[in-house]
Amino acid sequence: MRIGEVAIISYNAKENEDFIKSICRKIDVKNENLSFGRFEVNDQLALHLYGITIEQGDESLSWDLISKKTIGYIIIFNWDDRRIFEATKPTIDLFVNNFETSVLIIGNIKDKIDPPIPKKFFQPDGIPLSPNSRFTFCQVNNSEDAKKAMVLFVNMLIEKISL
């Protein structure tokens, strides 16, 4: 069986845990900054999901070392909290602009009603997108939503292979 490692990054440990719980049967490891779950796609592929909680201004993580084994990143932020968006923006910029791997950016929403899109999103300092990145809305604690996000992420990986 092949194993792919995916980093789930957020400023909120609960968002990471909710997303991983929504996809995996259980969280195998959990502490204040890291959670880990396994998702078996089929009998040939398993994804190890590492929920990494970062703090605003934390530059101590060596993303270049972590990225050597990671097949992609999922970055989650609370869509309704502009302060969290501003805090998450440098992390999104870092991954979209400096790594060739797939990056899925998730705006975590509270309900399925069309979320408002602030002007800031469209300005030059909004969320950057590239051929390697996508943006989607998701309720991370909703299993159906989280699985749709994972399908989008896996499709991104497949597209990258077929290029």
Cβ contacts of 116-121, under 8 Å, gap ≥ 24: 118/82, 120/82, 120/85
Q: Please name the CATH architecture into which domain 2-162 falls.
A: 3-Layer(aba) Sandwich (3.40)
Residue 3 has pLDDT above 90, yes or no: no
| Closest to 35 measured CA to CA, from 57, 59, 19, 55 | 19
Tens digit of each residue's pLDDT (9 = 90 or more) over 8-56 = 999 888 899 999 999 988 777 777 777 889 888 888 888 899 898 887 5
Q: What is the pTM of this model?
A: 0.86
Does residue 144 register a pLDDT over 60?
Answer: yes
Q: Of the candidates 74, 93, 86, 82, which has an alpha carbon nearest to the alpha carbon of residue 149?
A: 74
Q: Which residue has the higher pLDDT, 163 or 124?
A: 124
What pLDDT is recorded for position 75? Answer: 95
What pLDDT is recorded for position 9?
93
Domains of the chain, by residue range, sit at 2-162
pLDDT-derived band at 142, boundaries 50, 70, 90: very high
**CA-based angle 145:149:155, to the nearest 5?**
145
Mean pLDDT (whole number) for 56-77: 71
pLDDT one-digit tens code per residue, 98-138 = 888 899 999 999 876 666 666 666 556 677 778 889 999 99
Residue 64 burial by CB count (10 A; 0-12/13-18/19+): exposed, middle or buried? exposed
Count, residues in the chain: 163
Strands (E), the chain: 2-10, 27-30, 34-40, 45-53, 70-78, 102-108, 133-138
Rounded to the nearest angstrom, the gap between the alpha carbon of residue 9 and the centroid of all alpha carbons in its chain is 5
Across residues 56-68, what is the average pLDDT?
58
